[in-house]
Amino acid sequence: MTSKSKFVFIICLVYFKPTSEDEVFELFSSTINSIKNRFSQVPFIIGGDFNSRVADLNQCSFELVQDTNIYCYRNNLDLVCNKRGKSLVDILEELGFLLLNGRTKSDVVGWEQFFNSNFPERVVNNSMFFGVSHPILDQPFSEVEVLNAIHRKSNGKSPGVDGLTYECFKNLPVNWLLYLVTLYNKVFDCESVPGDWSKV
């Protein structure tokens, strides 16, 4: 007798009409909760079109997604959250679900394409550079590199003169992460570090 290994999981596909009333969210919450309670040991995936705008809600800790192919921050170009979006995220978080939209590598590529198509290409002045440009080391910093660098730092360290701790940086919303990436790339391009950064 041979045993065959089976991987069982639940996939729930959902569609909310744009005109759906609040009762739909209550029904959704109770239905998902009852399925989850009945099959508590089975992985559960919910997909579909919720017609909700969730902005950058539902961030999670780096530790939760470490060693996976998803990111702890949601890379979302739509920074608007409507009432439906807030309700949806509240339900998902209450039931222990993680919103995957904007967390995958392809979502980051999508953001980079959007950014590159809407902002002019950076001009790098190499006239003061004497040497050979390295094709990898001289690339601009990416969102993923900056995020990973931040999350490699230990908590509980003393802040610098600005009073900002690593915990503060680890909990920044996505749009602030993009500001940091832009700042670091500007510093890299200009080859000029702000004076306050050297103060201890």
- ∠ Cα 62 10 99 (to 5°): 30
* Tokens linked to 120: 């002019």
pTM of the model as a whole: 0.52
| String of DSSP letters for 3-61 | -------EEEEEE--TT--HHHHHHHHHHHHHHHHHTTTS-EEEEEE----BTT-----
Beta bridge partners of 27: none
Please report, as a single letter, which amino acid is at residue 125.
Answer: N
Rounded CA-CA distance 160/156 in Å is 13
* Tokens linked to 149: 């660098």
Integer CA distances (angstroms), 27 to 53, 75, 88, in order: 19, 29, 12
Model pLDDT, residue 3 = 47
Whether residue 146 contacts residue 177, with contact meaning beta carbons closer than 8 Å, is answered with yes
Whether residue 143 contacts residue 108, with contact meaning beta carbons closer than 8 Å, is answered with yes
Domains in the chain: boundaries? 10-117, 143-190
Model pLDDT, residue 2 = 41
Residue 66 DSSP code: T
Dihedral sign, Cα of residue 60, residue 66, residue 70, residue 74:
positive
Model pLDDT, residue 122 = 59
Mean per-residue pLDDT pooled into runs of 10, the chain (200 residues): 64 88 89 90 88 84 81 75 90 89 69 59 57 72 86 86 85 82 86 75
